[in-house]
Structure 1
Amino acid sequence: MKKLFAFISLFLLLSIGSAFADVTVKKLADGNVEVTFFYGNPRATEVLLAGDFNNWQNGAEAMTKTDKGFTITKTFKATDELRYKFISDGNWTTDLKAPDFVDDGFGGKNSHVVIADMLGGDDDAAASKAKINFVSWSMFGIQANYLTQGAYDKTEKGLDLDSVTIGAKSYNKFVGNFLPNCPVYIEVALAETDLEDYSGEKKIKYLYQKNGFDDESLEFSEGLKQFVSGMFANPVAYLARANNNGKDVASEGPGSNPFLGHLKFGFNTPYINFLTGFNYAKPDVRQAITWTTVCSSWDAGYQHVGGFNQFSLGSKAVAALEEATGLTFDIGFAPNKTGDRKGTKYGYWGWFDVKKDDLVIDFQTNGMYNGDYLFYEPVEHDFIIGAKDKIGGLSFAVQALLATHQKSTAEIVAFNAADNPEKTDPNILDYFGYSTDVWYRSGDFDGIQNMAANVQVGYKADLFNVNLEYRFRGMQASMLYLRENHDDGTFDLSNTLGLLNSQRIAFNGSVNPLEALKIDLGVTAEMALSELKAGDEEYDVYNGQVQSWWTARRFDEEDTPLFNRTGGAEFTFKPAVAYTLEDYGITIGAYGDMNYQAYQWSDGIDEDEANKYGASDSPFRFKKAGVSFAMTPDSDIVKGVNVYYGLDMSNKTRYFNTLIGQVMFPGDVTANLAFGLKTENTLSDGDVYKFNSDENNPFAFAVGVSKRFKAMKKPTLYAQFVYNMDPFKHFGDGQDALNLDRCNVNGSHEKEGVGKIDAVDWYDGRAAMRVGIRWDI
């Protein structure tokens, strides 16, 4: 269902919500409070409760299914405040009947419960009274980083201290209504200092550092004196690495931290709702049919200029239209100066959505302009239309895009040069704020090349469900307000529409032949939409000098447009199985990811060689596999056990076997232990992808423990040691949690370096000891 807009009053939320949820409280004799959460969609298969009280997704708890929906009861203190969401069949869902809401910072809403208010009868959420909630996401950490092999002679092994860093991130938010029916969201970013330079931001605070010649460039005694002086005298400026607020290469806009991050405010009236956003404020997410058409990561203006306004129907206007027509309308318009996400180009998005029972019809249009005024000198206009419906267990959905370009690539490059006269390599990527993958634009309408579409048909029964999908995307099918940031690996645009110049048929199904057994299968066939090859303008522009440099650093080989194909397909197979022993609280699962290439190639290309994967030197590739074991024992000593085995064969040089054990103890204590084995990829072409056994680091391990406290606003304290692998999330991403793709360890993405880093290479030749604390208030 479409996500609803954060500034619409609860009356509107209740009128068009897709699930009926509720929360009730009951005071116990010991002074504590029993809180019951209810999610009223009995057609869902699995619903989890995730919130700040159980560490969100990392501690999400399964709800019990009833005839009317899903329910769970938990005990809290009478003084507690709760923020939460439901995860319904993998989809994050706001409880639309919660007493209150707070902006989650990503264009959505977290449900919010103040237990004391509910006990006092103050549960009239529709009132939208004046009230400001304080929300903070803050953390502090120290890391000692070691080299486990020589920086130049990688055959030398050891453990050599290379640096000691301190990291601090703090985002403090004031969310609520500053006056009745006047929502506000203010975020102040106090610090954004990383523990290491994996993100390329170079916002590092060193206590000790060696240079590339193994000489100490900062002695520990000097770094320690700076640390003590900074923390004792000016901790905010010290941890934030604050400068004089002057603009330089490393500090766009007003300067360094602290700074105003998100700023959103507005008003809700019976007939119209208004919201305005500035800086890093995110617009409300739109997902009305199958696509997300306004994403949660689009900035109002990351260069600290620009912004957006949003106007939509108020609750009485919606009610009046529904009474007159029997239909529920959602209509809005968002003029803005964030068409490029930088905040320097005017644009708009607008929508018209109508709903009757399960039938939804949605239209959206987007625009971007190069002129000094709104609607002057158009660059791009998008038109998106879609519909979905359900008949019993059968569901249908279709959505289509027409992207029209009023300016060609050459004209846009000229605009970028005029905007940045000092720039030596003006290009289309920078013009769009590094938020598009459509680098070739003819400026004319080129038929199917300017179009994309998605059709889905699904059927859900008690014992099985199936979903069929067809989608295609032309070479010039772009969509504004979907982020495609090659810097940090955010690919909302291509994940939504697919690869450029591609079409895909997909099947996803699951069956429960036994109550305890579930079998899943996903199969896709990826094909070229048309033959585009060297000599075609689309091919030559895409592989131009600047663009090819970005491509080489940011993408896997399978992430590029489908060039030089005349027919055939790439097939992907993803089988999975899970077996649950409910009496013992045990679930065992396994999966595999495989590919097979059978493309027909343009003249002059060796078909046998072109269809080979680098990692297998064959048209067939066994990419990844995993086996999981999860147990929730009936014990006062151990609350849960997870074991993950992963085999990653996607790297062209080395295989990566990993085994991870996780144990949850009472008192919110979690312990993790991981082992890794890196061996030669014996299937790849050894003459091309050379394996050096003397430089290889075959053995890797990691250990980590975390404890979540109930006092001091529930901070999480953690300690970790990693050696030649790092299975934990990055600092600022929930760094005490595992960083897994199902059972396989994830890699990283280095912004100013090589781009995507495979898991087998991430932290290879390095080790680190970390301690830290984080708050999610």
Structure 2
Amino acid sequence: MKKFYAFIAVLLILTAAASADVSVKKLADGQVEVTFFYGNPRASEVTIAGDFTDWQNGALPMTKTDKGWTFVKTVPAGTVMKYKFISDGNWTADIKAPDTVDDGFGGKNGLVDVDALAAAAAPAADTADASPAKKANIKFMTWTVAGTQAKFRTQGAYDSAKKGMDFDNATLGLKSYNKLTGNILPDMPFYVEIALAETELENGYAGNTKLLYLAQKDNFGNDTVSIEEGLKNAFTGLFTNPVSYLGKASDNTDSDDAGPGTNPYLGHLKFGIDSSYVNWYTGFNYAKPDVRQAVIWKTVDGNWDAGYQHVGGFNSFSLGSKLQHIFGEDITLDAGFAPNKSADRKGKKYGYWGWAGVKYEDLAVDFQTNGMYDGDYIFYKPVEHDFIIGAKDKFGGLSVAAQGLVTTHQMSSAQINANGASNQADYFGYSTDVFYRTNTFDGIQNIAAEAKVGYEDPDKFFGVTADYRMRGAQASMLFLRENHDDGTFDLSKTLGELNSQNIGLSGYITPVEPLTLSLDATAEMPLEKLRSDSDLVTGYTSDSAWTDWYEKRCGKDMMPLFGIDGGAEFTATPKASYKLSENMSISAYGKVYYSAYDWEDGVDDEDANKYAASDSAFLFKKAGATFAVKDVNSLIKGIDVYYGLDNSNSVRLFNTLVGDIKLPSDITASAAIGIKTVKSTDAAEDYNKDTNNPFAFAIGVSKKLSKLQKPTVYTQFVFNMDPYKNFGDGQDNLALTDANVSARWDKGAEVGDKDAVDWYDGYAALRLGIRWDF
């Protein structure tokens, strides 16, 4: 009843982060003990992730106490740490962090400067007021990766059956994003990022022109860039104009793109004013708005650009700290409005998002509305409006949540197409997957919804969550990214595929303390019977956004449920983990699919339900096993081994064994082997088995230096496979999904999603690089 009165008194609003604190203590040996505290005892599981854990890749568990969760780490004096909490799977900023920095994706990272915190703590003990006034504080941060690579062909360019090791090219690369953030003045936060250089090492990205060749050969083995010419260019560029050379800058006269077009350029620009009553900030270029996730969905994406064509931008006005708690400290209000010229991410279309919500204890209620306009002014010539409402609560171990969306379209597909291809791209190319729409409300086609119910035993013996999600064929949401260029599908992953409904059941049980068993299962069904010859389906499949950009490039990642009368596709992912000792654990998982759709008349169900990777309605897609051990002895700090079976490719089966060993002095050695076997599927019948590269391997070493802001240096050799992340993503780290080598996204290629068995097939490379992240 008390919760109900709080809801009536305030009507609306958002989830606020639980309180947290960081304290430091100098130790006798000169080290500093840092204690993190997260004050939400109702959370079921909390980990801490930061630059000292390789973020989520090595997130560390926090220890539960009566008042919350703690984590203690001993570090050398002079250490600076960036971090976030992960509470029950959700990234959570520390609102009581000693300091914060913009994370570049619409959120904040906590920042701990242990020396500054220790110095501040000493006099604070002798003063009545331990809360110093805010001061101007500007920090420099960078994500910079520099490297060089020699690439080789392991099979002929024209005759793939011919094996060998022929030099292909050598490149020099630099990806450098340099940031200034903090407070220009007290209560005036800002974030500026300069994209100094974005030159890649890899020409595997089709159409990539940002390459600095030290040497290059064509498919016939002839020099297109001789080693002499390449080295001369590199020496001259680095000796005379290094920034322009490494950024591959030009005068932009040959570019049709709006804005600077070449590096260096202003990437992010974001600044504002925080006050007790109103907070305001504005963003330009690649600046990201604050992420909104009040109930289940992200309703404003951390990947949404203010205007990537270097025009447009956004404003955001929200309640200040006093108004957030005007009804008392137990009730948190959140309301705001964000008028913008960012509704298409390009910076060409006007729009807005506005929100209001309330949180009392575990109860949260939230409302958001979005709009997009085609006119020369905001609120003029509307294109789309979204209305989103949701609520969640927790009753002991029981949690419930529901969220719904109603989309209204004021411009139909025909009206949008009449504006021409450039305008059409503003709507379809980078912002939505709804390629057909009418300007009337078509009932369930314009609606999406999701409901979740979960229960977790207080002793964590078991937990279970049931989920139902549905999405109509015209249900879209602005400010969630759906992008064929880099394979970002936030919109369809959030709402589901068009014209779909999904029932999900996940749970775990710990029958004995070292053993945990879990299962994730789904059943996806069509929401409506939409025949292939209907206006909606023919309009969708004939639209150039689908035919030119998405159908081939993204067919594996997004496929509307059209032409299906009933039935379902079932998936199941069972997992098991066993803790052999305090420092040693093993785990295993599998992923299976079964297609049982009832297709429309004229379609053979048996053929249509077959997976190309199995020639059957059943597909054992992936499996994997992991072994991990920490603190083996004084020489070996940790060992991780991953076995993966990848059956997702229609032609070849991929078995991989990947491992890394952590050694003293922050050294990590890694190695991988892969076996590629040709299948007996229909798709493999036309495949020339002589072109298969049955054996693949990789080896690498990295070390984190103790000087020069602690960069990581690394070297690698890869042969017919690449288990490491892409150059700009932190290439010294393994690219794994569970225990399998990750698939990749090939920008500009006809098919974007590239299976791991195909990535780097027919190539080898020797690399040397260095990465800074501070």
Question: Shorter-normalised TM-score: what interval?
Answer: over 0.9
Which residue matches 1:299?
Answer: 305
* Cα distance change of structure 1 residues 271 and 41 upon mapping to structure 2, 3 Å threshold: closer
| 1:110-129 equivalent positions in 2, closer than 5 A | 110-121=109-120, 127-129=133-135
- Is 2:401 the counterpart of 1:397? yes
Q: Post-superposition shift, 1:84?
A: 1.2
Residues 26-50 of structure 1 deviation map (CA, whole Å, 9 limit, x = unaligned): 1122333211122334454543332
> By how many angstroms is 1:539 displaced?
1.1
SS of the residue aligned with 1:351? strand
| 1:269 matches 2:275 | yes
State the distance in 2 between where 1:273 and 1:760 align: 49
Unaligned runs of 5+ in 1: 1-14, 421-425
Stretch deviating more after TM superposition (289-298 or 190-199): 190-199
Match of 2:154 in 1: 148
C-alpha change, 1:433 and 1:303, in structure 2 (3 Å) is farther
Contact 2:702 2:715 in 1 (8 A): yes
Q: Residue type matched to 1:617 in 2?
A: D
2:724 is equivalent to residue 728 of structure 1? yes
Q: Deviations over 1:507-561 (max 9, x none)?
A: 0000111111100001100000111122112211221162123233322446310
Find the aligned partners of 2:551 and 2:679 in 1 and give their Cα distance: 22
Most deviating of 562-571 and 86-95: 86-95
Residues 553, 753 of structure 1: 8 Å contact kept:
no
Alignment of 1:315-714 (within 5 A): 315-322=321-328, 327-417=331-421, 420=422, 428-461=424-457, 462-544=460-542, 546=544, 547-557=546-556, 559-583=558-582, 585-682=583-680, 684-686=681-683, 690-714=686-710
**SS of alignment partner, residue 226 of structure 1:** helix
The amino acid across from 2:718 in the alignment is V
- Post-superposition offset of 1:118: 1.5
With over 3 angstroms needed to count, the CA separation of the structure-2 counterparts of 1:488 and 1:558, relative to structure 1, is closer
Residues 1:48 and 1:528: Cα distance change in structure 2 (over 3 Å): same
Tell whether the 8 Å contact from 2:716 to 2:767 is kept in structure 1 after alignment.
yes
Query: Structure 1 CA distance, aligned partners of 2:254 and 2:464?
Result: 54
Among candidates 759, 764, 774, match of residue 762 of structure 1? 759
Question: In 2 relative to 1, CA 430–371 (structure 1 residues): closer, same or farther, beyond 3 Å?
Answer: closer
Does the Cα contact within 8 Å between 1:397 and 1:455 map onto a contact in 2? yes
Q: Within 2, Cα distance between the matches of 1:321 and 1:416?
A: 51
1:557 and 1:112, CA in 2 relative to 1: closer, same or farther beyond 3 A? closer
1:134-159 CA deviation, whole Å, 9 max, x = no partner? Answer: 11111101011110000110010001
Q: Is the 8 Å Cα contact of residues 649 and 681 (structure 1) preserved in structure 2?
A: no
TM-score normalised per structure 1: 0.94
Say whether the 8 Å CA contact 1:342–1:433 is kept in structure 2. Answer: no
Distance in 2 of aligned mates of 1:36 and 1:568:
53
The reply on whether 1:93 has 2:92 as its aligned counterpart is: yes
Alignment of 1:177-326 (within 5 A): 177-199=183-205, 200-246=207-253, 248-249=255-256, 251-322=257-328
The one-character-per-residue Cα deviations of 1:442-474 (angstroms, maximum 9, x if unpaired) are 111110001100000000112011000001000
Partner Cα separation in structure 2 for residue 451 and residue 289 of structure 1: 17
Whichever residue aligns with residue 763 of structure 2, its letter is R
**CA 1:41 to 1:637, structure 2 compared with 1: closer, same or farther past 3 Å?**
farther
1:172-214 deviation per Cα after TM superposition (whole angstroms, max 9, x unaligned): 1111110110010001110010111344442111110112332
- Corresponding residue SS for 1:322: coil
Which shows bigger deviation, 663-672 or 391-400? 663-672
Counterparts in 2 of 1:16 and 1:449: CA distance versus 1, 3 Å: closer
Report the Cα offset of residue 582 of structure 1.
2.7
Distance 1:44 1:514, change over 3 A: farther
2:747 to 743, 746, 751: 751
Deviation, 1:413, is 1.6
Q: Distance in 1 between matches of 2:386 and 2:685?
A: 43
Return the match for 1:774 from 767, 771, 774.
771
| Distance in 2, Cα, partners of 1:75 & 1:56 | 18
Cα 1:269/1:21, change in 2 over 3 Å: closer
Q: Which amino acid aligns with 2:717?
A: F
Amino acid across the alignment from 2:411: K
Name the SS for the 1:543 alignment partner. helix
Distance 1:493-1:558 versus aligned 2 partners, 3 A rule: closer
Cα 1:181–1:109 shift into 2, 3 Å: same
Q: Residue type matched to 1:140 in 2?
A: A
SS in 2 for 1:554: coil
For 2:362, the aligned partner's letter is: D
Which residue identity is paired with 2:225? Answer: L
In 2, Cα distance between equivalents of 1:90 and 1:402: 27
1:547-583 deviation per Cα after TM superposition (whole angstroms, max 9, x unaligned): 1232333224463101111111000011000000234
Gaps of 5+ in 2: 1-13, 125-129
Q: CA deviation at 1:82?
A: 1.6
1:738 equivalent among 708, 715, 734? 734
Shift of 1:94: 1.9
| C-alpha distance 129-760 of structure 1, shift in aligned 2 (>3 A) | same
- Cα offset for 1:354? 0.9
* Contact in 1 for aligned 2:295/2:401 (Cα 8 Å): yes
> Within 1, Cα distance between the matches of 2:252 and 2:733?
35
What is the identity, as a one-letter code, of the residue corresponding to 1:368?
Answer: M
Question: Quick check: 2:101–2:111 contact (8 Å CA) kept in 1?
Answer: yes
Partners of 1:311 and 1:438 lie apart in 2 by: 30
The answer on 1:134 being equivalent to 2:140 is yes
| Aligned residues between the structures | 749
Q: For residues 457-503 of structure 1, what are the alpha-carbon distances to aligned partners after superposition, in whole Å with 9 as ceiling and x for unaligned? A: 00011201100000100010000000000111100000000000100
CA offsets 1:64-98 (integer angstroms, 9 cap, x no match)? 34444432322223322221122334432222221
- Summarize deviations over 1:244-300 as a string: whole Å, max 9, x none: 144604x54223111100000010111111000000000000000000000000000
The alignment partner of 1:732 has SS state of helix
Q: CA RMSD in A?
A: 1.8
Amino acid at match of 1:770: R
1:125, CA displacement in angstroms?
Answer: 7.1
C-alpha displacement at 1:389, in angstroms? 0.5
Task: Give the letter for the 1:311 counterpart.
Answer: F
d(CA) in 2 for partners of 1:576, 1:274: 46
Deviates more, 1:273-282 or 1:93-102: 93-102
Secondary structure at the aligned position of 1:299 is classed as coil
Q: 1:296 is matched by which residue type in structure 2?
A: G
Whether the aligned pair in 2 keeps the contact of 1:246 and 1:255 (CA below 8 Å) is no
Normalising by structure 2, we get a TM-score of 0.94
Identity %: 57
Structure 1: distance between partners of 2:736 and 2:691: 26
Q: 1:524 to 1:125 in 2, by over 3 A?
A: farther
Q: What displacement does 1:357 show?
A: 1.4
Q: Distance in 2 between matches of 1:313 and 1:377?
A: 29
Q: 1:125 to 1:222 in 2, by over 3 A?
A: farther
How far apart in 2 are the matches of 1:40 and 1:706?
36
Taking a change above 3 Å as real, the CA distance of residues 536 and 446 of structure 1, as seen in their structure-2 partners, is same
